């Protein structure tokens, strides 16, 4: 096991009927921004529950945060936070709203020029932010229990991430009944998103870390079991709850402590979103099988362990087991109606050099857990997934 | 899954060589109490490393905190903390030192009479404490990442617990190399202690909580695999690290969220320590197999799941599988040289009514996850384990 630090002070309030606890969780004596996305929280009753839990508070609403939240939109909120002297931001929505609020919270106190800089320049560290909390309405990204945020800039077609303890939510309310009204596509995306989050922290190379490995496998198996139940019956409370908790545990830092991490699938996937506006989870379902194939040698031991423990693949030669395991993964994604090929989005081979050029322009030589997935191999991954 | 709240802000700093980070972790500008137990930290070099990491700080040392830390000793430290206006307490030691420091930290700010009251009266809540941190030297209790504390009072032969967020350590440094110098008995006790912590949160009845169940099983399997490795070769860094992380994860609250919890083994075990001064872990190894036997009906589903997933017990009738599973557990404890019968400590049947009387005196009708392990059944458990 590698040395690590783990710090996750997010207060998780989990279960049906918990939104009413907002009145105890939100700080008093300060102006609050209530931030959300599109209209779903008006349809599923969450908006009404939130408002009912916060009577008499000084609230300013900011709606319209997009899926893949946009810098241009968020900067409007930053202006309001500054002008209105907002002291707390409550994010009500899915991962995009939460990611957007983290950016707003950090940008509002950023004093070194354009806040976009802390996304483009890894050396700039966010150390302060307006305190924030969340009511999570879409199990998927894990943003409710981490300090990660991904923001898209339309003008430059860039999608970039930052991470800071300063933007860890003070609390996150997870009420599984929000799943009842989710469209099929969002459930499917959520399951795949959480699944790939685990894979990025698990499918690397062994470092003798049995707790982390087994926790990761626990989440994968749970998503495989519970995902289809949620899709089949959105009102199955226990399935919704288990899916929701799995998505949170997939990216709250715990399974990634002391182990190497990959994140090449995300890095390449972000470009598919930036250029073609494909849903985040769907980009991951395209890229991951390609990386498993191209990196089957350096990931061999973990691929075999994953195949055996998660999919029960025990028969055949090493290569047969690996191919069987990749196929199991592809079939799982596709069983949720999520394609794993670029052709499903009418993207052809001409897109590949465009993506590669972007990595070259950023001075990137290689990505992944060993930094050895080269630009040429990124092209190979995307060619396999045409 | 049941509704729950989860909040664990302890900053874990894990790995070899991490003690030197103390200089960044300990608050400056305040007087610090350095609290420890017997002499082990002088022999294993931890004391020297701690002192080297804290040059020029205003330190007051308090040594001599016992295994099963005693109220009488701890109250002496409370006086010093008050008189010297200590602003931070650093616990350097195992679970007993940490538990003792939590009591000291809370008692020093307790304003409602004798601090012993917040152990005897569950209605009294500890809401403030001197900030504390730890350098953990013995994987076992999980005290490094929770708000639990167990204190023994000699004069009344009582061993009681309290729990408060106010006594969660700000940080805990876990350097697995501390295991290198542990005597065999402490390793054995630590493995069994962590194992039973998991069982208390797992071996109850099903509530459709696959993540919690699988995480619990992950820790159990890891302890079964890594425990013997540590015992065989104390200098196996990875085994020591995995054992240490397993012990922390066993009782940091995570596997217990949203599920019923038992804790009858601990409740009865504490009396064995209070009356006969048997090591905590050793009391658990005696009581747990008796509870598995007496409660085999109400725990049936989880006993079968535990047997199958942790021990691979799949053959035979339900009762045969349960008996095989209990035997596996007993054999595991005994393989570490830990007896599972009272006779090993020369305790006879005359002790049983004494324990039962104590529960009766406290007005207890039943304990365990359903509150239905009656006083008669406690007697039955202890009779089985004579």
Q: How does pLDDT run across A274-301, given as a tens digit for each residue? A: 889 899 999 999 999 999 999 999 999 9
Using a 10 angstrom Cβ sphere, with 0-12 exposed, 13-18 middle and 19 or more buried, the burial of residue A144 is: buried
pLDDT above 90 (res B122): no
pLDDT above 90 (res B68): no
pLDDT score at B245: 98
- For residue B25, list chain A residues with Cβ-Cβ distance below 8 A: none
Residue A204 and residue A198: Cα distance in Å, rounded?
11
Interface test with B, best of A2, A5, A25, A230 (most B CBs within 10 A): A5
Cα of A285 to nearest chain B Cα, Å: 23
Residue A215 and residue B198: Cα distance in Å, rounded?
14
- For residue A11, list chain B residues with Cβ-Cβ distance below 8 A: 5-7
- For residue A12, list chain B residues with Cβ-Cβ distance below 8 A: 4-7, 257
What's this model's pTM, rounded to 2 decimal places? 0.97
- For residue A16, list chain B residues with Cβ-Cβ distance below 8 A: 3
Using alpha carbons, select from A240, A246, A225, A258 the residue that is nearest to residue B249: A258
The Cβ of residue A384 has, within 10 Å, a number of other Cβ atoms equal to: 17
Cα of A15 to nearest chain B Cα, Å: 4
B71 with B39: CB under 8 angstroms?
no
Q: Which residues, at least 6 apart from A265, have a Cβ–Cβ distance to it below 8 Å?
A: A196, A199, A200, A284, A287, A288, A291
- For residue B18, list chain A residues with Cβ-Cβ distance below 8 A: 3
CA angle B240–B242–B245, rounded 5-degree value: 105
Residue A150 and residue A197: Cα distance in Å, rounded?
14
Top CATH class of B11-177 equals alpha beta
pLDDT above 90 (res A218): yes
Q: Do the Cβ atoms of B3 and A12 come within 8 Å?
A: no
Using alpha carbons, select from B138, B150, B134 the residue that is nearest to residue B100: B150
- Residue B328 has which token pair? 């596996």
Using alpha carbons, select from B355, B370, B176, B164 the residue that is nearest to residue B269: B355
- For residue B7, list chain A residues with Cβ-Cβ distance below 8 A: 9-12
- Residue intervals in chain A for CATH 3.40.50.1970: 11-177
Residue B126 and residue B119: Cα distance in Å, rounded?
10
Q: What DSSP designation does A363 have?
A: T
Which residue of chain B comes nearest to A213, CA vs CA?
B218
B135 with B50: CB under 8 angstroms?
yes
Size of interface A-B (CB pairs under 8 A): 119
Q: What is the mean pLDDT of residues A156-167?
A: 92
Distances in Å between the Cα of A143 and the Cα atoms of A148, A277, A335, B374 are 6, 20, 25, 45
Tell me the per-residue pLDDT of B237-293, one tens digit each, with 9 for 90 and over: 999 999 999 999 999 999 999 999 999 999 999 999 888 989 999 999 999 999 999
Which residue of chain B comes nearest to A5, CA vs CA?
B13
Which residue of chain A comes nearest to B175, CA vs CA?
A3
- Residue B59 has which token pair? 């330190």
The closest CB to that of A214, out of B15, B218, B258, belongs to B218
Q: Do the Cβ atoms of A11 and B7 come within 8 Å?
A: yes
Which residue of chain B comes nearest to A239, CA vs CA?
B208
Residue B211 and residue A178: Cα distance in Å, rounded?
20
- For residue B221, list chain A residues with Cβ-Cβ distance below 8 A: 210, 214
- Residue B281 has which token pair? 């872990």
pLDDT above 90 (res A68): no
Tell me the per-residue pLDDT of B349-358, one tens digit each, with 9 for 90 and over: 999 999 999 9
Higher pLDDT, B270 or B76: B76
pLDDT score at B346: 96
In this structure, of A72-76, B26-30, B324-328, the range with the lowest mean pLDDT score is B26-30
Which residue of chain B comes nearest to A11, CA vs CA?
B7
Measured CB to CB, residues of chain A less than 8 Å from chain B are 1-18, 208-211, 214-215, 217-219, 221-222, 225-226, 238, 241-242, 245-246, 249, 254, 257-258
A144 alpha-carbon distance from chain centroid: 10
Q: Do the Cβ atoms of A4 and B14 come within 8 Å?
A: yes
Q: What DSSP designation does A298 have?
A: T
- For residue B3, list chain A residues with Cβ-Cβ distance below 8 A: 14-18
A260 alpha-carbon distance from chain centroid: 18
- Residue A177 has which token pair? 């009944």
The Cβ of residue A198 has, within 10 Å, a number of other Cβ atoms equal to: 27
Q: Do the Cβ atoms of B5 and A16 come within 8 Å?
A: no
pLDDT score at B304: 98
Q: Do the Cβ atoms of B1 and A245 come within 8 Å?
A: yes
Residue B74 and residue B62: Cα distance in Å, rounded?
10
Q: Do the Cβ atoms of A3 and B11 come within 8 Å?
A: no
Distances in Å between the Cα of B141 and the Cα atoms of B187, B232, B278 are 12, 21, 16
pLDDT above 90 (res B168): yes
Which residue of chain B comes nearest to A245, CA vs CA?
B211
Residue A160 and residue A274: Cα distance in Å, rounded?
9
pLDDT score at B208: 98
Distances in Å between the Cα of A148 and the Cα atoms of A6, A106, A203, B133, B293 are 14, 12, 21, 27, 47
**What does residue B89 show for φ and ψ, rounded to 5 degrees?**
-120, 125
Q: Do the Cβ atoms of B221 and A210 come within 8 Å?
A: yes
pLDDT score at A55: 86
Residue A125 and residue A144: Cα distance in Å, rounded?
21
Residue A64 and residue A66: Cα distance in Å, rounded?
6
Q: Do the Cβ atoms of A15 and B6 come within 8 Å?
A: no
A273 with A68: CB under 8 angstroms?
yes
The SS3 assignment for A280 reads helix
Can you tell me which residue has the tokens 């989880």?
B302
pLDDT above 90 (res B100): yes
Complex-level ipTM beyond the 0.95 threshold: yes
Average model confidence (pLDDT) for chain A? 96
Cα of A171 to nearest chain B Cα, Å: 9
CA angle B362–B368–B370, rounded 5-degree value: 110
Which residue of chain A comes nearest to B7, CA vs CA?
A11
Q: Which residues pair with A132 in a beta bridge?
A: A89
A87 with A130: CB under 8 angstroms?
yes
The closest CB to that of A258, out of B6, B14, B214, belongs to B14
The SS3 assignment for A124 reads coil
pLDDT above 90 (res A217): yes
Using alpha carbons, select from B151, B147, B154 the residue that is nearest to residue B116: B151
Residue A364 and residue B288: Cα distance in Å, rounded?
56
Higher pLDDT, B99 or B55: B99
pLDDT score at B229: 98
A147 with A165: CB under 8 angstroms?
yes
A95 with A141: CB under 8 angstroms?
yes
Give the β-pairing of A86-93 and A132-136. parallel
- What is the percentage of chain A residues whose pLDDT exceeds 90? 94
Q: Do the Cβ atoms of B8 and A9 come within 8 Å?
A: yes
Q: Do the Cβ atoms of B14 and A7 come within 8 Å?
A: no
Binning pLDDT at 50, 70 and 90, where does residue A38 land?
Answer: confident
pLDDT score at A203: 98
pLDDT above 90 (res B56): no
Domain B184-384, classified CATH 1.20.1090.10, yes or no: yes
Binning pLDDT at 50, 70 and 90, where does residue B38 land?
Answer: confident
- Residue intervals in chain A for CATH 1.20.1090.10: 184-384
Give the β-pairing of A373-374 and A366-367. antiparallel
pLDDT score at A277: 87
Can you tell me which residue has the tokens 């009266």?
B121
Cα of A287 to nearest chain B Cα, Å: 27
SS (H, E, C) chain B: CCCEEEEEEEEEEECCCHHHHHHHHCCCCCEEEEEECCCHHHHCCHHHHHHHHCCCCCEEEECCCCCCCEHHHHHHHHHHHHHHCEEEEEEEECHHHHHHHHHHHHHCCCCCCCCCHHHHCCCCCCCCCCCEEEEECCCCCCHHHCCEEEEEECCCCEEEEEECHHHCCCEEEECHHHHHHCCHHHHHHHHHHHHHHHHHHHCCCCCCCHHHHHHHHHHHHHHHHHHHHHHHCCCCHHHHHHHHHHHHHHCCCHHHCCCCCCCHHHHHHHHHHHHHCCCHHHHHHHHHHHHHHHCCCCCHHHHHHHHHHHHCCCCCCHHHHHHHHHHHHHHHHHHCCCCCCHHHHCCCCCHHHHHHHHHHHCCCCEECCCCCEEHHHHHHHHHHCC
């Amino acid at each position: 096991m590698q040395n690590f630090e783990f710090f996750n002070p997010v207060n998780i309030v989990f279960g049906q009927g918990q939104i009413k606890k907002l009145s105890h969780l939100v700080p008093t004596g300060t102006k609050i921004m209530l931030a959300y996305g599109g209209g779903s929280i008006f349809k599923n009753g969450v908006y009404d529950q939130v408002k009912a839990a916060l009577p008499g508070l000084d609230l300013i609403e900011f709606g319209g945060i997009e899926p893949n939240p946009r810098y241009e939109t968020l900067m409007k909120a930053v202006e309001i936070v500054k002008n209105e002297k907002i002291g707390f931001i409550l994010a009500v929505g899915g991962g995009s709203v939460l990611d957007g609020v983290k950016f707003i919270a950090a940008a509002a106190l950023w004093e070194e020029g354009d806040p976009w800089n802390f996304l483009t320049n890894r050396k700039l560290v966010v150390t302060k932010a307006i305190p924030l909390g969340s009511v999570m309405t879409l199990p998927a990204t894990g943003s409710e229990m981490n300090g990660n945020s991904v923001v898209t800039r339309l003008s430059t077609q860039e999608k970039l991430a930052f991470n800071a303890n300063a933007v860890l939510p003070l609390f996150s309310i997870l009420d599984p009944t929000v799943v009842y009204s989710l469209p099929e596509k969002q459930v499917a995306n959520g399951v795949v998103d959480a699944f790939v989050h685990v894979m990025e922290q698990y499918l690397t190379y062994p470092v003798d870390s049995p707790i982390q490995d087994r926790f990761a496998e626990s989440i994968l198996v749970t998503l495989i079991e519970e995902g289809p139940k949620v899709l089949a019956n959105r009102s199955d409370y226990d399935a919704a709850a288990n899916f929701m908790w799995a998505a949170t545990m997939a990216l709250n830092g715990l399974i990634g402590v002391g182990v190497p991490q990959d994140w090449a699938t995300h890095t390449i996937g972000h470009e598919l979103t930036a250029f073609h506006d494909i849903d985040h989870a769907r980009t991951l379902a395209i890229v991951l099988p390609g990386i498993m194939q191209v990196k089957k040698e350096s990931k061999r031991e973990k691929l075999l362990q994953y195949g055996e423990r998660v999919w029960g693949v025990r028969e055949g030669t090493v290569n047969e087991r690996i191919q069987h395991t990749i196929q199991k993964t592809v079939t799982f994604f596709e069983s949720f109606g999520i394609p794993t090929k670029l052709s499903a989005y009418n993207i052809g081979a001409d897109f590949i050099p465009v993506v590669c050029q972007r990595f070259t322009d950023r001075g990137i030589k290689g990505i992944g857990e060993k930094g050895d997935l080269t630009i040429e191999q990124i092209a190979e991954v995307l060619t396999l997934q045409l």
